[in-house]
Amino acid sequence: MNTFLSLCMVSAIASVLLPSGAMAATPDGEAIFNRSCSVCHSVNPPPKSAPPVIPLANRYHMQFQTKEQGVAAMADFLEKPDVAKALDPRAVSRFGLMPLIPLTDEERKAVSEWFWDQYNPAKGGGRGFGGGQRRLMNQ
């Protein structure tokens, strides 16, 4: 009984002292997106104040052979946004460089993995700017 009581006390103390997400094994990428990214990024076009997720995810898939490579590049960009690391300089020209979002390494990786998984080849090549629709309207 003393061992059980000791374990309960340790668990209670840890839950009070540790940050709320510290006991979670893996952060939820979609939850991080909704909390920290969706203010500027929509999932599908039209854009808010930053490029939508689906076209950007498609561009990452065009640029990188593997999920590991794409996620690493995206997480690196999120750690310190820089024009030189931007996948699409036209998006930076149109929307500006994204601000630094304070995320942990684990959160950057989780949201980058979620972002990568939003790839949908049926949604176009990710070139953006509505070029396909514009061509149809000008015929």
Q: What does the angle CA 78 – CA 80 – CA 86 come to, to the nearest 5 degrees? A: 70
Q: What is the pLDDT of residue 21?
A: 47
For 46, other C-beta atoms within 10 Å of its C-beta total 7
Per-residue pLDDT of the chain (139 residues; tens, 9 = 90+): 454 333 333 333 443 344 544 455 689 999 999 999 999 999 999 999 999 999 999 999 999 999 999 999 999 999 999 999 999 889 999 999 999 999 999 999 999 999 999 998 886 554 444 444 443 444 4
SS3 2: helix
Domains of the chain with bracketed CATH: 27-122 (1.10.760.10)
Tokens 């854009």 locate to 47
pTM over 0.75: no
Helix (H) or strand (E) holding 131: helix 131-137
Q: Side chain identity at 62, as an amino acid letter? A: M
Question: How many angstroms separate the CA atoms of 10 and 5, rounded?
Answer: 9
Q: Do 121 and 59 contact (CB within 8 A), yes or no?
A: no
Q: Do 103 and 109 contact (CB within 8 A), yes or no?
A: no
Q: What is the pLDDT of residue 8?
A: 35
Q: What is the pLDDT of residue 13?
A: 40
φ/ψ of residue 112, rounded to 5 = -65, -40
Question: How many angstroms separate the CA atoms of 130 and 98, rounded?
Answer: 21
Hey, what long-range contacts does 65-68 have (CB within 8 A, 24 or more apart)?
67/113, 67/116
